Chain A
Amino acid sequence: DAGVIQSPRHEVTEMGQEVTLRCKPISGHDYLFWYRQTMMRGLELLIYFNNNVPIDDSGMPEDRFSAKMPNASFSTLKIQPSEPRDSAVYFCASRYGDSNTEAFFGQGTRLTVV
């Protein structure tokens, strides 16, 4: 398996534009996590899914952020409209089953909003 695949690796956009980040989890994994990493806040969990169903979105900063998982092999994180303070590295991770198993991370998307 190629691991967790995120696209794009880098994204530069202007304030007010819509941004969509994409994630393909490892095949067979039933948990998918979206994290945001900044210097100030570290790694924050935004939302996670189990079997394509959102379980906890309490980490989503505001209504401008939304996430979907239409099927087991694809998830998106959308920011509309984007703001400069959204600039961060966004990670997607997936895991199979039990909570003691390893979560595998993608390479992250570095988002810059100017």
Chain B
Amino acid sequence: AQTVTQSQPEMSVQEAETVTLSCTYDTSESDYYLFWYKQPPSRQMILVIRQEAYKQQNATENRFSVNFQKAAKSFSLKISDSQLGDAAMYFCASNSGGSNYKLTFGKGTLLTVNP
């Protein structure tokens, strides 16, 4: 079974600063994928970034990057140069390969960006 844990229910950051959101996961699969989704007040779920577990290089998408520590089963999201539009709920998710294609989410971290 997969589990995803986000230990920070809420975080805040000053505009233009950097913030890191934590995520740990547990899976028995050797082949899996990790994602960060953003949910703004509009309720729409938006993919921010993804990471294949077999890749050692950390994924980067513009101001968003991850710190993937496979041995520790940790997958944190770093947001650089935070903008007001980054304020949202952020969900970490894991999706196993093999015969199980479930996409399992953590409970989310509410990010506030202060001007």
Are B50 and A102 in contact, with the CB atoms below 8 A?
A: yes
Residue in A45, A100, A107 whose beta carbon sits within 8 Å of that of B50 in the complex: A100
How long is the Cα–Cα vector from A99 to B50 in the complex, in angstroms?
A: 11
Residues of A with C-beta under 8 A to B101: 31, 48, 50, 55, 99
Are B107 and A42 in contact, with the CB atoms below 8 A?
A: yes
The answer to whether A89 and B91 touch (CB under 8 A), given A99-B33, A100-B33, is: no
- Give B65 Cβ to nearest chain A Cβ, in Å: 18
How does the 8 Å CB contact mask read for B74-115 relative to A, with 1 for contact and 0 for none? 000000000000000001000111001111111110000000
Residues of B with C-beta under 8 A to A50: 101
- Give B31 Cβ to nearest chain A Cβ, in Å: 8
Q: Please report which residues of chain B, range 18-62, place their CB below 8 angstroms from some CB of chain A when the two chains form the complex.
A: 32-33, 35, 42-45, 47, 50, 52
Are A108 and B52 in contact, with the CB atoms below 8 A?
A: no
How long is the Cα–Cα vector from A105 to B52 in the complex, in angstroms?
A: 21
Interface size on B, residues (CB 8 A): 23
Q: List 25 A-B contacts (CB under 8 A).
A: A33-B103, A35-B105, A41-B107, A42-B91, A42-B108, A43-B91, A43-B107, A43-B108, A45-B105, A48-B101, A56-B100, A56-B102, A93-B45, A93-B103, A98-B97, A99-B96, A99-B103, A100-B33, A100-B50, A100-B52, A102-B35, A102-B50, A103-B103, A107-B43, A107-B44
**Residue ranges of B at the interface with A (Cβ–Cβ < 8 Å):** 32-33, 35, 42-45, 47, 50, 52, 91, 95-97, 100-108
Give 6 A-B pairs besides A48-B101, A100-B97, A107-B42 with Cβ atoms closer than 8 angstroms: A42-B107, A48-B102, A99-B33, A99-B101, A100-B33, A103-B95
**Residue ranges of A at the interface with B (Cβ–Cβ < 8 Å):** 31, 33, 35, 41-43, 45, 48, 50, 55-56, 89, 91, 93, 95, 98-100, 102-103, 105, 107-108
